[in-house]
Amino acid sequence: MKKKIFIFGHTGYIGSYLLKYLNNEEFETHGRKIPRPENENLNNFYYKFIGDFLNQNENIFCIINSAGSIDCQTKEDYFFNSQFDVIFQKLIDERKIRTKYLSFNSTKIFSKALDNYALSKKELDQNLTNNDIFYTLYIDLVFDDNSPHFKTIKKKIKDIKINIIPVFNPGKNFYPINLNSLGNSIKQIINGNYKIRKFIIIGDKKMNFCDLIEYVNAVSNIKKKIFRIPSKLINKFPNFIKKIFLKSKTFQQYDDDDWLERINYNEFLIRKSNDKF
């Protein structure tokens, strides 16, 4: 009998890929939409939704939550990012359900970023408890020529009216991955039995913010000139200015701190992709 997997966020870029990728001779995948509440107690709303979901579905091998709000512009978005997995964890603990659960987080929690998305994910990480069936995946930039991040950068480059792109150099550090390498990692994780249940999923090639802009600029054949602003100049700014920058998804890219150097390998497992970017 095939193992049943439910995927929340199955209509998104990552979730839709996993829905197809994991649907094979071993697994049977199901996508489930998570409704968004209006003018309701958010905790009670999601508690009821999760309870009803567990009542209606049995013998689930694994649940993967790839849903989330990247923009995180409303209190509802923030609550979902920071609390949905926490509520789910409490419910499966209460019911003593032995279903594996994969919670998607971001490597941004290791950075100095202060935008709402980063803060919501940092709060999620703080509120989850140790659990032998609950896995947290800290995923770095999912980046290929069809990815939302690629398209966002391409649009911003095109929207600049002049022929010069101001870019922090070197800027923020990334370890981009693609969907195939992410799918391979997730397949191994859900089939494995690991003592450490926190996985940092990164690519094997380090790229900084300036590299990404240059790549998109070249691949898209836009051919605008790159004006490099030395990242180290920002360190001369007052702390309150730097804090404002860290709240902006655009300006926080000046921060060239390499978070990977501070990772405690006793707490996290690092999964590097061998796929070339």
**pLDDT tens digits, residue range 217-254?**
999 999 899 999 999 999 889 999 999 999 999 899 99
How is the beta sheet containing 3-8 ordered, strand by strand? 27-32, 3-8, 60-65, 100-106, 134-139, 198-203, 269-273
> Looking at the predicted structure, is the pLDDT value of residue 274 above 70?
no
Q: In angstroms, what CA-CA distances link 248 with 111, 240, 252, 256?
A: 13, 13, 6, 15
Cα separation, 172 vs 259, whole angstroms: 10
Model confidence at 156, in pLDDT bands (50, 70, 90)? very high
What does the pLDDT read at residue 273?
A: 77
Residue 147: its pLDDT value, please? Answer: 93
The answer to whether residue 177 scores a pLDDT higher than 60 is yes
Q: What is the CA radius of gyration of the chain?
A: 20
Structure tokens at 160: 């600049």
Contact 64, 105 (CB under 8 A): no
Query: Who contacts 1 (Cβ-Cβ below 8 Å, separation ≥6)?
Result: none
Domains and CATH numbers, the chain: 3-273 (3.40.50.720)
Q: Are strands 60-65 and 100-106 parallel, antiparallel or unpaired?
A: parallel
Output the pTM of the full model: 0.94
Distances from the Cα of 141 to the Cαs of 56, 194, 203, in angstroms? 35, 24, 9
* pLDDT per residue as tens digits for the range 22-52: 999 899 999 999 998 877 899 999 999 999 9
Residue 202 one-letter amino acid: I
Cα angle at 32 between 121 and 36, to 5 degrees? Answer: 60
